[in-house]
Amino acid sequence: MNNLVIHCLSVVLLALIIKTEAHADLGTVRDSKVIEGYECTLFSAPEPFRAGPVDISVMVVNNKTGQALVDCQIDVSLIPTFEGPASLQAPATQEDAQNKLLQAALLELPEPGQWKVVARITGLPDLDQAIELSALVDAFAHLPRWRSIWLWLVLPAIALIVYVFNQICVSSRKQRRQRSSAEAK
C-alpha cells in the first residue's frame, strides 16, 4: 500500500515540474523561402495550434553573411478562411520573441477553424520587393483556461495525499514501536 502511494506521489511530483502552457520558441515550421540570399522561415506555436494565445514568429537569415536580421518590418496577419471572426494583424518584433534571433507577434486567436497565416517582410537590405510567407493552419478549439493551470489547481489535493501518507508513516511507526516494546517485555 505504502509503495503504491509513493509511486503515485512520485509521478505527481514529477509531473508538477512540467509546465503545461505552450510558449513559442520557434515552434512548428509553417513556410520557408530563400529569396536573394535571404532565408525566411515562418513558425507557429503552440503545437497543436489552438484558439487562444498564439505566437507567430519569423526568422530572417542572410545566408551570404550568416547574419540574423532582427529589425525587419514584419507584419503578421491571421485571416480566417471561414465566415465570422475578423482578421487579426500585428507587427512581429524582437521584443516579443523569447529567442532573440526571431521576431514574434503574440495574438489572441478568437475561434477554432482554418486560418491563413501571412507574414509580410519588408525593409530587407538591397531588396526592394517584399517577401511573403503564408500557410494554412487548422486551429483546434480553445483550451479551457483551467487546462493550462490544472497542476496548480490540484495542489491542495496533492498536499492532502502527502499528508495522508505522512500520517500513515506516523501511525505505522507508532505500531512498530508498540510491537517492539511488547516483544521486549
Which residue ranges make up the site for other proteins (CB under 8 A)? 2-3, 6, 14, 17-23, 25-29, 32, 39-41, 46-47, 59, 61, 63, 66-71, 94, 98-101, 145-146, 149, 152-153, 155-156, 159-160, 163, 165-167, 169-170, 172-173, 176-177, 180
Q: Which amino acid is at 144?
A: P
Give min distance, CB of 82 to other proteins, in A.
26
CB closer to other proteins out of 12 and 101: 101
Complete DSSP assignment for 31-74: EEEEETTEEEEEEEESSS-BSEEEEEEEEEEETTTTEEE-S-EE
Give min distance, CB of 54 to other proteins, in A.
14
Give min distance, CB of 185 to other proteins, in A.
16
Give min distance, CB of 21 to other proteins, in A.
8
Q: Torsion-angle region of residue 139: left (phi > 0), alpha (psi -120 to 50) or beta?
A: beta
CB closer to other proteins out of 31 and 80: 31
- In angstroms, the CA 83 to CA 169 distance is 61
User: CA 154 → CA 8, 12, 16, 158, distances in Å?
Assistant: 14, 10, 10, 6
3-state DSSP assignment of residue 105: strand
CB closer to other proteins out of 100 and 129: 100
3-state DSSP assignment of residue 139: strand
Give min distance, CB of 57 to other proteins, in A.
11
CB closer to other proteins out of 21 and 138: 21
